[in-house]
Amino acid sequence: MRFYLTCWWQPWAMLGCILSTSPAAMAAGVTIHYTCGDGSNSAACAQEAQKWAEQTGNRVNLVSMPASSTEQLSLYQQLLSSHSSDIDVIMVDTTWSGILNDHLANLNTLLPGDLAKGQIAASIANNTVNGNLKAMPFYADASLLYYRKDLLEKYHRQVPVTWQQMTDSARYIQEQERAAGNRSLWGYVFQGKAYEGLTCNVLEWVASDGGGVLLDQHGNVEVDTPAVRSALKRAGGWIGTIAPKGVLSYEEETSRGVFQSGNAVFMRNWPYVWALSQSPNSVIKGKVGVAPLPAGDSDGGRHASTLGGWSLAVSRYSQHPRESAELVAWLTRKENQKQRAIEFSFLPTYTDLYSDPQVLEASPFIGSLLEPIKQAIPRPAGLVKTLYPRYSNAIFDRSHRVLGGEASVDQAVDMLNRDMQRLVRRADFADAQN
Ligand code: GLC
């Protein structure tokens, strides 16, 4: 089967490409405009959409988005608030169902059958607003500590269980390797840019020290706590010592770039990195280990991961809601999730795939992630609803200042406390969902 790819620039500056099976097919069927994140997952998205186009005689226009979840959300908000039909199928982050609710079609009315069957219950609950399913889970995410097995072995270090152990080993290995001429090596890389990724890191640091998500379900602010202070202090101490100053502008792919070129001992990132780090041309193939993120050093310390992941939704302004929903059903079906887990190490949202022998052969660590996914920290999007961008902005902005040395921990805690108090005054906690 031959595919024809036609590309052009969208009015809002995104690259669009249509996949079709023949020039003749361009005349039949409908065109579905589909966003599937940035380049890091476009291979998976294109491959599966191609098959759907081939089977149905429709066309798929794959629209590439910025990498940052924060930037994507603001683009969608602009586009959808003008009721634009430029996009039919939207890939939505874990925290967006409530924010974009008014713009998303109810999938229960567009797709037949029990859509929740076999799925991780929390993934479906997360996408359900007032009883309506607004997005189908596409893949889940839990953060991991990636480490260089070969370097830990060389220096007789254990896989770190606490942040202190991670910091000590990172510093030691960095010093030894640099003294031996490996001058580009850093101890730890993570997502330190002021965007959603930093919010995920901060919530993990705080939870690992026994803290919460800075607000409880009654609207009490929990910012001025020992857990928040110790988390920010510890992370601030990494910059320029075990982490490069450049980490202040790192997203997921930037940190992966440093780690995958062999220039970091430890990295915090999501499961998709596993498959890329093991690809044939990867210089660290066979040298990578995966573990839970370290626990805090205090008595209440624990391993903590933010709950991440993406789902597919249909825009209410789509001119082809039925075909769009069919594409969503196709892309999110179990067989495709299995293939994506095998080839691209994306975490499935169907529970039995976590014990599927082929999935485990390709990505052995996936077998141990079902429980961590179920226990991962949900960001309080159901609680603060449309104010979620403010909540996240306050966290990443204030903590970015600490990392950049522009604010002390005391100053940042004070500012964040006031941000959250203001947010709570505007939020309606009466019908909070989580
Ligand atoms: C990953 C997660 C997503 C999170 C984002 C932050 O893509 O799946 O939930 O918001 O990272 O950068």
pLDDT of residue 25: 45
Protein residue with least CA distance to atom 4, ligand 1:
308
Q: Among all chains, which residue has been given the structure tokens 């060389």? A: 154
Residue 107 burial (CB count, 10 A)? 25
120 and 191 both lie in a single domain = no
**CB of 196 sitting under 6 A from ligand 1:** yes
Picking from 228, 261, 291, the residue at the C-terminal end of a domain is: 291
What are the backbone dihedrals phi and psi of residue 316, each rounded to the nearest 5 degrees, phi first?
-65, -15
**CATH number of the domain enclosing 107:** 3.40.190.10
Residue 126: inside a domain, yes or no?
yes
232 and 318 both lie in a single domain = no
**CB of 37 sitting under 6 A from ligand 1:** no
Which of 200, 249, 253, 310 maximizes ligand 1 atoms within 8 Å of its Cβ, making it the mutation to test the pocket?
Answer: 200
**CB of 197 sitting under 6 A from ligand 1:** yes
Residue 116: inside a domain, yes or no?
yes
Residue 361: inside a domain, yes or no?
yes
Burial 184-208 (b: 16+ CB within 10 A, else e): ebbbbbbbbbbbbbbbbbbbbbbbb
Picking from 349, 374, 399, the residue at the C-terminal end of a domain is: 374
Residue 434: inside a domain, yes or no?
no
**The whole model's pTM is what?**
0.92
234 and 179 both lie in a single domain = yes
Q: Is 195 helix (H, G, I), strand (E, B) or coil?
A: coil
Closest CA to 96 of 313, 374, 325: 313
Asked if residues 185 and 164 have their Cβ atoms less than 8 Å apart, the reply is: no
Atom of ligand 1 nearest to the CA of 141: 8
148 and 287 both lie in a single domain = yes
72 and 208 both lie in a single domain = no
Which of 93, 190, 393 maximizes ligand 1 atoms within 8 Å of its Cβ, making it the mutation to test the pocket?
Answer: 93
Distance CA 183, CA 263 (A): 9
pLDDT of residue 18: 56
Atom of ligand 1 nearest to the CA of 306: 9
270 and 174 both lie in a single domain = yes
Distance of alpha carbon 245 from the chain centroid: 23
The number of folded domains in the chain is 2
23 and 133 both lie in a single domain = yes
Distance CA 115, CA 334 (A): 11
Asked if residues 398 and 416 have their Cβ atoms less than 8 Å apart, the reply is: yes
Q: Any alpha helices (H) in 41-141, and if so which ranges?
A: 42-56, 69-81, 97-100, 107-110, 121-126
Tell me which residue range forms the domain holding 51. Answer: 4-140+308-374
pLDDT of residue 298: 82
pLDDT of residue 6: 47
Asked if residues 286 and 72 have their Cβ atoms less than 8 Å apart, the reply is: no
Each residue's pLDDT, cut to its tens digit, for the chain (434 residues) gives 444 444 444 434 454 555 554 444 445 799 999 998 765 567 778 888 989 999 999 999 988 889 899 999 999 999 999 999 999 999 999 999 989 999 999 999 999 989 999 999 989 999 999 999 999 999 999 999 999 999 999 999 999 999 999 999 999 999 999 999 999 999 999 999 999 999 999 999 999 999 999 999 898 999 999 999 999 999 999 999 999 999 999 999 999 999 999 999 999 999 999 999 999 999 999 999 999 999 998 888 999 999 999 999 999 999 999 999 999 999 999 999 999 999 999 999 999 999 999 999 999 999 999 999 989 999 999 899 899 999 999 999 999 999 999 999 999 999 999 999 999 999 877 544 44
Q: How many angstroms separate the alpha carbon of residue 65 from the centre of ligand 1?
A: 14
Q: How many angstroms separate the alpha carbon of residue 196 from the centre of ligand 1?
A: 7
247 and 266 both lie in a single domain = yes
Residue 161: inside a domain, yes or no?
yes
Residue 400: inside a domain, yes or no?
no
Residue 9: inside a domain, yes or no?
yes
Protein residue with least CA distance to atom 2, ligand 1:
308
Residue 397: inside a domain, yes or no?
no
103 and 150 both lie in a single domain = no
DSSP letter assigned to residue 23: T
DSSP letter assigned to residue 158: P
Picking from 374, 403, 422, the residue at the C-terminal end of a domain is: 374
Asked if residues 244 and 250 have their Cβ atoms less than 8 Å apart, the reply is: no
Q: How many angstroms separate the alpha carbon of residue 193 from the centre of ligand 1?
A: 13
Distance CA 334, CA 347 (A): 12
**CB of 270 sitting under 6 A from ligand 1:** yes
**CB of 253 sitting under 6 A from ligand 1:** no
Please state whether 255 falls in left (phi above 0), alpha (psi between -120 and 50) or beta: alpha
174 and 153 both lie in a single domain = yes
Give all strands of the β-sheet with 31-35 in edge-to-edge order.
Answer: 4-9, 15-20, 59-63, 31-35, 89-93, 307-314, 136-142
Please state whether 269 falls in left (phi above 0), alpha (psi between -120 and 50) or beta: beta
283 and 336 both lie in a single domain = no
Distance CA 300, CA 422 (A): 29
118 and 160 both lie in a single domain = no
The C-alpha torsion from 98 through 101 and 105 to 109, rounded to 10°, is 60
